[in-house]
Amino acid sequence: MLCKKHGIIKEKSKTIYLEQKPEIDNIIIQTCQEKQNILHKIQQTEIKNQRFIKDFEIFDYKKYHDIKINLKGKRQIQNATLVLECCDILKEEGYFITEEKIRDGLETVVHKGRFEVIHKNPTIIFDGGHNEQSIKNLKDTIEIYYKKSKKIYVISILKSKDYKTILDELIEDGNIYIFTNGNDKNRYTDSHLMYEYSKKLSTNIKMYEMDLKKAIQFCRAKVDYVSFIIGSFYVYGDIEKVPKYTVKNLEYNR
């Protein structure tokens, strides 16, 4: 992944980069030097006072204090520092950008498909995370906001993804898991494969196989749970089309 990413660094341009492990930093630094590219490296220690209140993540970065972002998760705070750094560079180059506008943009930003609340009462959240790192980020965010909640996971995973690695991260005792074939059984990992693999990971979970529409309706009927629809961005449009009503006494497999 790094080999692909550092290839986007352009000759005699500017790069904004959040520090990672030293071995990764060194590759970025060297590439920028070779391409006469000005590197703006954000230090993790420059991001301070991280906290969350209701719907906002709040943090300080350099001269900016109590910055609020309308996105959830520590990773979104890191992304916001890249925005702040970019705005400072643009202002140095003569662009007129007020701090008020920067704050307003971050407070009202919406990222469709990333920890997005798509239904309330009960809460249903969509997140398109589909690899090991994005699932880890998702779990970190769930730990912050919904640690004590009872949880349902609706999982659809493309065949091109490593479903075992994703399930290794996701499966935990006490949750409900629903496996689907997404919106195209030819493109998605078979729900029964995921069901059978997950049985090896825990004996203290409830698991079902359903089509995507019925899975969403199942979640809407579980008023005392928080549900997470995850594994693929490509089902987002289908989820929006499911009728917005609660279905009781659903029939489902297994």
Q: pLDDT tens, 68-89?
A: 999 887 789 999 999 999 999 9
Helix, strand, or coil here: 56? strand
Beta bridge partners of 124: 119, 227
Pair 116, 127: CB distance under 8 Å:
yes
Backbone phi and psi for residue 47, each to the nearest 5 degrees, phi listed first: -95, 115
CATH of domain 116-241: 3.90.190.20
Helix, strand, or coil here: 12? coil
Confidence (pLDDT) at 44: 92
Domain with CATH 3.40.1190.10 in the chain: 2-108
Beta bridge partners of 119: 124
Per-residue pLDDT of 19-74, as tens digits, reads 999 999 999 999 999 999 999 999 999 999 998 887 789 999 999 999 999 988 77
pTM above 0.85, yes or no: no
Residue 160 amino acid letter:
S
DSSP-derived pairing of the beta strands 206-209 and 38-42 = unpaired
Confidence (pLDDT) at 113: 87
CATH of domain 2-108: 3.40.1190.10
Domain with CATH 3.90.190.20 in the chain: 116-241
Pairwise CA distance, residues 15 & 199, whole Å: 46
Confidence (pLDDT) at 210: 95
Per-residue pLDDT of the chain (254 residues; tens, 9 = 90+): 555 556 789 999 999 999 999 999 999 999 999 999 999 999 999 999 998 887 789 999 999 999 999 988 778 999 999 999 999 999 999 999 999 999 999 999 988 888 988 888 999 999 988 888 889 889 989 998 899 999 999 999 999 999 999 999 999 999 999 999 998 989 999 999 999 999 999 988 999 999 998 999 999 999 999 999 998 888 888 877 765 544 344 444 44
